[in-house]
Amino acid sequence: MILKVFLEDQTYPIEVPDYIVSDAEDFFSFLDNDMNKGWQMSQFWVENPDNNQRCQIAADKILTALNNDDQKTGVMMSAYIMNRMPGTTELHLSITGDMNEHVISGD
């Protein structure tokens, strides 16, 4: 599976093996448990992030991974998004510093 990540005028296709999307539930649950404590989403504290917000948080981690050339984190966060929002094919990252502006789309 490929997640097309758009950042400004660049496209970064992140190849995510199917088995990671389907078999990494322990890792995904770890992320969810961390987010269950609430999350600072840019200027706002979100007590209980919904599914879309959780995926925006993961998207923000992809942005950091791209900036740090951290492919492993990019793949795992992409897998999380694809698992939690099946059918996702595109991620449009905002460079404004507001993770609430990351847009996740798909089929």
Q: How many domains does the chain have?
A: 1
User: pLDDT tens, 19-61?
Assistant: 999 999 999 999 999 999 999 998 999 999 999 999 999 999 9
Of residues 35, 85, 29, the one with CA closest to residue 61: 35
Q: Which two tokens stand for residue 28?
A: 């995904």
The answer to whether 103 and 92 are in contact (CB under 8 A) is yes
Of residues 105, 99, 64, the one with CA closest to residue 81: 105
Domain span at residue 8 reads 2-106
Which pTM does this prediction carry?
0.94
